[in-house]
Amino acid sequence: MEKIIELKNVNKIYGTDIKAQVLYDINLSFDTGSFNSIIGQSGSGKSTLLNIIGTLDTATSGDVLIDGNNIKDMTNNQLSDYRNKTIGFVFQFHYLLPEFTALENVLMPYNIQKKPVTKEVMDRAKERLKLVGLEKVMNNPSTKMSGGQQQRTAIARALMNDPKMILADEPTGNLDSDSTETIYDLLRDINLEYKTTFIIITHDRRIAEKADRIIEIKDGKINLDITK
């Protein structure tokens, strides 16, 4: 299978005076279109790993290859463009822009490309909101929506540019179990329909077990890597 991203001997050390190593020689790759979950205790290094995969953070040593290209060789603007076109992020605290409506938030990744918003683009944004069941509240300010609605808006936003990969860090961390179930079913549907690669951090084993592959991180190392 084609690899969307590859990590080679990735180490991450925080701090300059007092050094804290978070990741130890991680070697990992992900197949295109796969649905992966990362589990592990707090402080195990799983969020750091996800941020390095998403090019938000950089490895202290080791290489991150995207479609065979090393991100070390990419400029800031290239990385920005790569994130914009290829990756959709869903964070635990949804991180919508409070100044904008749900629809405008969903359109934002497209706006960043500085291309004109055509009717077709607008329809695509509305369709993404419909997919997450928010077509009725799409013109609400993002601050006037419930936690679950905001998180679903964030998912719709992550899907806007048809990314190859969606990285989600505890996307249901602050939601009740019913909403959690709905959102995972939604992510799974998207994975099947659009062949989008998912890498999801969760502390919920029940949820993790729904994934094709479970990776457990313990003390900065891969403790377990099971593919169903």
Binding site for other proteins (CB under 8 A): 47, 51, 54, 56-57, 76-77, 80-85, 89, 91-93, 95-100, 108-109, 111-112, 114, 157
Pick the closer one to other proteins by CB: 31 or 56. Answer: 56
Neighbours of 194 (CB within 10 A): 15
Measured from the CB atom, the residue of 24 and 91 that comes closer to other proteins is 91
How far, in Å, CA of 153 to CA of 8, rounded?
34
Nearer to other proteins, 67 or 98 (CB): 98
Encoded tokens for 219: 């003390």
109 three-state secondary structure: helix
* Nearest CB to other proteins, comparing residues 95 and 194: 95
The bridge status of strand 165-169 relative to strand 197-201 is parallel
Nearest distance in Å: CB 38, other proteins: 16
Query: In the complex, what is the shortest distance from the CB of residue 227 to other proteins, in angstroms, rounded to a whole number?
Result: 28
CB of 88 to other proteins, least distance (A): 9
Question: Minimum CB separation from other proteins for residue 110, in Å?
Answer: 10
Question: b/e map of 25-64 (b: 16 or more CB within 10 Å)?
Answer: ebebebbebbbbbbbbeeebbbbbbbbbbbbebebeebeb
Q: By CB neighbour count within 10 A (0-12 exposed, 13-18 middle, 19+ buried), where does 219 fall?
A: middle
**Of the two residues 31 and 57, which places its CB atom closer to other proteins in the complex?**
57
Q: Which residue has the tokens 């060789």?
A: 73
Query: Smallest gap, in angstroms, from Cβ of residue 1 to other proteins?
Result: 26
